[in-house]
Amino acid sequence: MSLYILFAVILFGNINCDTDCSFYNLERSLNLSSLPSDERPVSNWKNVCTVQLDFLLYTVVELNMNEQTIITYIWFTMSWRNELISWDPDDFCGITNIFLPSSTFFWKPDLYVYEMTENDKNTPVISYFNLDSNGTISRFFPLRVISTCNMDLYKFPFDIQTCTLTFRSYLYSGNELVMLALSDSYNVLRNSQEVFASKGDWNLLNITVQNDTYGFLSNKYTVVIYKVTIKRTPVIYIINLIIPACFLVILDICSMFIQRYEERLVFKINVILGFSVLLLILNNMLPASGSQPMLGIFCCVCMAMMVLSIIGTIFSSYVMDHSVNPKHVPPWLKTLALNYMARALCFRKAPSQKTMTRNGTLTKEPKTKATGDVQMMKDLQEKDNLEVKLLKKLLLEILKIHKRLNLSKTEDAKLEWFQVAQVIDRLVVILYLLTVTAVFIVLIYAWSQ
């Protein structure tokens, strides 16, 4: 009877041991607390520890052009093998993997992002590791990275930016730890495009993966480089910057057809103030240094042409003020403006009033003189007391002729000054149109490339 009881106890005890399939029993049997957490988990110190990285871009949170930084949210995977940990799944009811908290005492590779500028406290913490029976430890966690990005804003807002994320170990050289990419460029791009959540600012174009090594202080380090290529969505900039800038340029060109120079100056100053606001908005978006975008160059050229048109308007107003005086246009200005510039600008001069007035005067003068001579002969024949009246009439006619001659000279001088002002206005308009058109063509060509 005692042998039967002993046999039953041994039998049921073994059954209870085999049916204890808890993760706690597995973790307790591994005795992880006895493992070193500050040394590489290799059985021989000459063995190289291999860390495999995988990368999945979820979204671009922000790209700051002033500071030239990019904030990305990625899903990251890191796995390595601990040669000091392993078990047979058959001894533990077929358990092949177990999740362990991050507080567990075992070695973890130091991961360092070369382009990172600051630690982000908003990254969610996933404090668990997946441990396989062969000793492979995997960590899956989201990562919010704030890193530098050298931007090329020449084609802004139709620009394409390529930002680099370089993952490496900060402590271990390539003889001790090797970092490799788990997935190639095609798989990383395809998986990222499936989950990429765009906020409307950027679209994902490409992701390239590259394994590389570089030397630093006589040591070689292995790195995994992810190059993310994104394209800006330009709709908001077209509506808020480009279209208003084009409208203001068109308004400034149309203002050249306002005849009253005082009203034209007031209108142009209001236009240039509105354009200055657009330049301030653009200046706040772009970095203080680096390559200037074509849009900024276009706006600066348009601003310069607006200032030039204001200077031309002021000069035209100054020229028109001289028409109040009966003095004619100086010969050098008349030759330059009414001869050379007028021909080059296809400007048709108005007919001179001087010729018309002189012709009318010459046709009337003989008639008046003949009439006066006949009247004087009649007066001498008829009455001597009418001589005074005839002399008064002759004096009035002479005064009228003199007044007409002075008026003709004044009208000719005014016409010359007015024509000079029109030539200046046409010159400014043509220069304005040619310059803005040339810059706009260059801008479209640069954006289309």
Q: How far apart are CA 206 and CA 211, in angstroms?
A: 17
Of 201, 233, 265, which residue sits at a domain end? Answer: 233
The answer on 359 and 275 residing in a single domain is yes
Q: What is the pLDDT of residue 6?
A: 38
pLDDT bin (cut points 50, 70, 90) of residue 350 is low
Q: What is the pLDDT of residue 11?
A: 39
Percent of the chain with pLDDT over 70: 72
The answer on 217 and 249 residing in a single domain is no
Of 183, 199, 233, which residue sits at a domain end? Answer: 233
The answer on 418 and 360 residing in a single domain is yes
Which domain does 59 fall in, by range? 2-233
Closest CA to 310 of 270, 269, 351: 269
pLDDT of 229 > 90? The answer is yes
Q: What is the pLDDT of residue 16?
A: 41
Q: What is the pLDDT of residue 354?
A: 42
- Residue 290, classified by CB atoms within 10 Å of its CB into exposed (0-12), middle (13-18) or buried (19+), is middle
pLDDT of 362 > 50? The answer is no
Q: How far apart are CA 413 and CA 405, in angstroms?
A: 12
The answer on 246 and 187 residing in a single domain is no
The answer on 412 and 310 residing in a single domain is yes
Selected residue with higher pLDDT from 358 and 124:
124
pLDDT bin (cut points 50, 70, 90) of residue 9 is very low
The pTM assigned to this predicted structure is: 0.71
Q: What is the pLDDT of residue 213?
A: 86
pLDDT of 10 > 50? The answer is no
Q: Are strands 97-101 and 128-132 parallel, antiparallel or unpaired?
A: antiparallel
Closest CA to 338 of 348, 352, 325: 348
pLDDT of 162 > 90? The answer is yes
Q: What is the pLDDT of residue 228?
A: 94
pLDDT digits (tens, 9 = 90+) for 288-316: 656 678 888 888 888 988 998 898 888 88
The answer on 332 and 215 residing in a single domain is no
The answer on 219 and 255 residing in a single domain is no
User: Of 1-5, 134-138, 342-346, which has the strongest mean pLDDT?
Assistant: 134-138
The answer on 302 and 284 residing in a single domain is yes
The answer on 313 and 361 residing in a single domain is yes
pLDDT digits (tens, 9 = 90+) for 427-439: 888 888 898 888 8
Q: What is the mean pLDDT of residues 45-61?
A: 90
Could you tell me the CATH number of the domain that includes residue 120?
A: 2.70.170.10
Selected residue with higher pLDDT from 78 and 421:
78
Contact 233, 201 (CB under 8 A): yes
Total domain count, the chain? 2
Residue 202 three-state SS: strand
Q: What is the pLDDT of residue 186?
A: 93
pLDDT of 333 > 60? The answer is yes
The answer on 269 and 221 residing in a single domain is no
- CA-based end-to-end distance of the chain: 96
The answer on 248 and 198 residing in a single domain is no
pLDDT digits (tens, 9 = 90+) for 102-119: 767 778 888 888 888 877
Query: CA 304 → CA 93, 246, 293, distances in Å?
Result: 81, 15, 17
Q: What is the pLDDT of residue 122?
A: 65
Residues β-bridged to residue 149:
none
What is the DSSP code (8-state) at residue 238? I
Chain centroid to CA 362: 70
- Residue 149, classified by CB atoms within 10 Å of its CB into exposed (0-12), middle (13-18) or buried (19+), is buried
Of 207, 233, 259, which residue sits at a domain end? Answer: 233
- Residue 370, classified by CB atoms within 10 Å of its CB into exposed (0-12), middle (13-18) or buried (19+), is exposed
Selected residue with higher pLDDT from 18 and 234:
234
pLDDT bin (cut points 50, 70, 90) of residue 100 is confident
Residues β-bridged to residue 142:
75
Query: What mean pLDDT is reported for the chain?
Result: 77
The answer on 191 and 79 residing in a single domain is yes
